């Protein structure tokens, strides 16, 4: 019997597989405390997935926070080393409002960060590992990729004000074409280019020609094409989609941003991007890129995938032959089945087979398989 498949949950199996994947590419594990000074987070609230932060006062009177994010701590505790890239991965619990339950939860999160002299290979490697991470969770995945510099170029060419740009970014994230038109018209500008950008979605070979019409041979487009070509050459071309509705705050992010989805979950399970602007805000000279995989969402996947809680329930009575009961349980588990021995069937338990221990052996009472 495969113990990993029989015992471990989706998110637990993912942690082991992802750790092995990241170590293969030279990433070392980053460990951190459960809490940081609250000031670290309050100064960068817009960077966080959720601005709901659990705080407490330390014994010295300092306001602390249970960490809602790992990236900020990694930046705080790393150093600029010219010509080098620090590569770390993490498997940490963060404390925030869960997307699944909408209440505070201790969420298992894994991911990686590259900090330092980031070049096109570094960006490719992170995107490739993001796709590989999704593949370890499910073969039915897609990685949506955007480039904020291209979005900025198109907005600049339209000539809208900075305030309008902020509103347009919100509309791009919502794929709100009507909103984009209304904002541009309010400024006396033609929003056709922006509408085309937002409407452009799909495989790189379909989207890149359209982008070339919009921005020409810009440096950002050439970079996007080069890295997507490398991902295609790695066999991931059919899993990558260009989608400019993948937007992050430009005060913190720049360049590539991306989001990963797997079949069976409505919301994105992976999110990442370049955050050179955040590094600059925190007084750093290095560039950076990384992503996080939200393992709490895999609990929903497990619930969706699992039709039965257990393969078989064996009913027995007080005073039964313990050796006979043990023999029946061990026979079924030896054949790879999960078994629960009970005197009565627990409420709301879903099972494939209901068995009963008799003097002459085990009798099948119900078969749902």
Q: pLDDT tens digits for 183-214?
A: 999 999 999 999 999 999 999 999 999 999 99
- Which sign does the torsion angle of CA 196, 199, 203, 206 carry? negative
**pTM of the predicted model as reported, rounded to 2 decimal places:** 0.79
38's CB contacts (< 8 A; 6+ apart) are 53, 55, 63, 64, 65
pLDDT at 308: 75
pLDDT at 102: 67
Whole-angstrom distance, CA of residue 268 vs CA of residue 257: 13
Q: pLDDT tens digits for 94-120?
A: 887 765 566 777 778 899 999 999 999
pLDDT at 54 over 50: yes
363: alpha, beta or left, given left = phi > 0 and alpha = psi -120 to 50? beta
- Which sign does the torsion angle of CA 287, 293, 294, 297 carry? positive
pLDDT at 4: 42
Q: pLDDT tens digits for 11-47?
A: 677 888 899 999 999 999 998 888 888 888 888 877 8
Residue 72 tokens read as 């900020």
């Amino acid at each position: 019997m495969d113990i990993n498949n029989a015992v471990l949950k989706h998110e637990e199996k993912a942690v082991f597989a992802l750790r092995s994947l990241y170590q293969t590419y030279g990433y070392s594990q980053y460990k951190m405390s459960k809490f940081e000074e609250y000031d670290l987070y309050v100064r960068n609230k817009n960077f966080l997935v959720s601005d709901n932060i659990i705080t407490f006062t330390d014994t010295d009177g300092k306001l602390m926070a249970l960490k809602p994010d790992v990236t900020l701590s990694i930046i705080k505790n790393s150093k600029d080393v010219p010509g080098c890239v620090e590569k770390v991965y993490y498997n940490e619990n963060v404390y925030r409002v869960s997307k699944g339950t909408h209440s505070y939860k201790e969420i298992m999160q894994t991911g990686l960060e590259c900090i330092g002299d980031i070049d096109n290979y570094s960006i490719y490697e992170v995107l490739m590992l993001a796709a590989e991470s999704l593949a370890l969770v499910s073969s039915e995945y897609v990685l949506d990729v955007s480039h904020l510099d291209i979005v900025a170029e198109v907005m600049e060419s339209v000539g809208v004000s900075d305030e309008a740009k902020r509103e347009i970014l919100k509309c791009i994230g919502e794929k709100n074409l009507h909103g984009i038109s209304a904002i541009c018209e309010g400024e006396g500008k033609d929003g056709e280019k922006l509408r085309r950008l937002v409407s452009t979605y799909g495989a790189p070979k379909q989207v890149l020609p359209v982008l070339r019409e919009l921005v020409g041979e810009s440096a950002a487009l050439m970079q996007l094409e080069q890295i997507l070509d490398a991902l295609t050459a790695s066999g991931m071309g059919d899993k990558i989609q260009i989608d400019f509705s993948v937007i992050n705050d430009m005060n913190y992010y720049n360049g590539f941003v991306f989001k990963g989805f797997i079949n069976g979950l409505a919301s994105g399970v992976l999110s990442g991007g370049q955050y050179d602007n955040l590094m600059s805000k925190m007084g750093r000279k290095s560039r950076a890129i990384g992503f996080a995989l939200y393992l709490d969402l895999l609990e929903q996947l497990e619930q969706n995938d699992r039709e039965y809680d257990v393969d078989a329930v064996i009913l027995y009575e007080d005073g039964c032959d313990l050796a006979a009961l043990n023999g029946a349980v061990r026979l079924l588990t030896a054949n790879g089945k999960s078994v629960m021995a009970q005197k009565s069937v627990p409420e709301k338990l879903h099972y494939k087979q209901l068995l009963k221990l008799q003097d002459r052996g085990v009798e099948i009472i119900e078969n749902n398989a």
